[in-house]
Amino acid sequence: MTTPLTPALLLQAYASGVFPMSEHRDDPDVFWVDPHHRGILPLDGFHISRSLARRMRQGHYEATLNHDFEAVVQGCADRADTWISPPIHRAYLALHQQGHGHSLEIWQEGQLVGGVYGVALGAAFFGESMFSRRTDASKLALAHLTDHLARCGFSLFDTQFITPHLGRLGGREIPRVQYRALLQEAMETEADITNPPFDPDPSQILQRKTQMS
């Protein structure tokens, strides 16, 4: 019998360095993943390219935090091949209701065009998935999210794996033993994703990024 995927079990797993996946959309079972190498997105090393900075200055979009968590999860699952099965979907909605699941949304003309969701625990944010329906929407979501996590005192942004897309944004791969050390440090610290309040102004993000450089 498969152990129910409860919020308590999920939080225990994240604190231990593992995360759940399913083989496909209709898979009723969940397996646990503990990669030999882990992807992270350094909060002080997010790369904003000139084209992305220009896109942020132009505006014509809105960024929100936790405005529509379920729609972001659905957007991430809306693809031909997904590991977001119904048990996983329900479990993360429950985590959101308990204050541990969070989403960053990007809107254009009132439509949700991109976003990212994950889990906050201690001073770690565990990114689960992201999606983009328009050019640069997921990049904008990550730019806003990394800036906000840094302002809130988070020390670890876990991306699970590294894709070419994340690599171009500053993501890197580290050995499991190094990840576990960063995770332990993050678990010993508390960060609050609601404090300070989310600042959606892209000009402020670019200004803070310049000051850090």
SS (H, E, C) 149-170: HHHCCCCEEEEECCCHHHHHCC
Structure tokens at 11: 């939080």
The set of residues, in sequence order, having a beta carbon less than 8 Å from that of 71 and lying 6+ positions away, is: 105, 112, 115
**Structure-derived torsion over alpha carbons of residues 146, 53, 38, 127, reported in degrees to the nearest 10:** 40
Phi and psi at residue 113, to the nearest 5°: -115, -5
Q: Give the whole-angstrom CA distance, residue 209 versus residue 129.
A: 24
pLDDT tens digits, 38-71: 999 999 999 999 999 999 999 999 999 999 999 9
CB atoms within 10 A of CB 204: 12
Q: With CA atoms as reference, report the closest residue to 117 among 174, 161, 77.
A: 77
Cα angle for residues 59, 213, 115 (degrees, 5° grid): 40
**18-55 burial string, b = 16+ CB within 10 Å, else e?**
ebbebeebeeeebeeeeeeebbbbbbeebebeeebbeb
Contact 104, 130 (CB under 8 A): no
Phi and psi at residue 175, to the nearest 5°: -65, 155
pLDDT per residue as tens, the chain (213 positions): 467 899 999 999 999 999 999 988 888 888 999 999 999 999 999 999 999 999 999 999 999 999 999 999 999 999 888 989 999 999 999 999 999 999 999 999 999 999 999 999 999 999 999 999 999 999 999 999 999 999 999 999 999 999 999 999 999 999 999 999 999 999 999 999 999 999 999 999 999 888 776
Q: Give the whole-angstrom CA distance, residue 154 versus residue 46.
A: 14
